[in-house]
Amino acid sequence: MSGITVVLLVAALVIIFALLAAAAAGKLARLDGATYPGALTRAAAAFAAVLTLAAALTGSVAGALTLLP
């Protein structure tokens, strides 16, 4: 596989995981008694958190790989 294919597949996988986490957070918030706007806010926060975590992991791995000889 070429490099761009791997990057696109990993990006798609990260977005799918972020959507799943957001859906789970929204559903759990709704079951906890939150209003629809409150549940949507929690879902959006979970989505953003997963994307932020993926970006931080990517940055740290890329930084570590540049240190290798």
Asked if 51 and 14 touch (Cβ cutoff 8 Å), the reply is yes
Alpha carbon distance 43, 52 (integer Å)? 14
HSE-up (13 A, CA, CB side) for residue 47? 13
**What is the band of 66 on the pLDDT scale with cuts at 50, 70, 90?**
confident
CA nearest to 9, candidates 1, 43, 32: 1
Quick one: pLDDT at residue 51?
97
In this predicted structure, the answer to whether residue 8 has a pLDDT above a threshold of 80 is yes
In this predicted structure, the answer to whether residue 15 has a pLDDT above a threshold of 90 is yes
E strands, the chain, are none
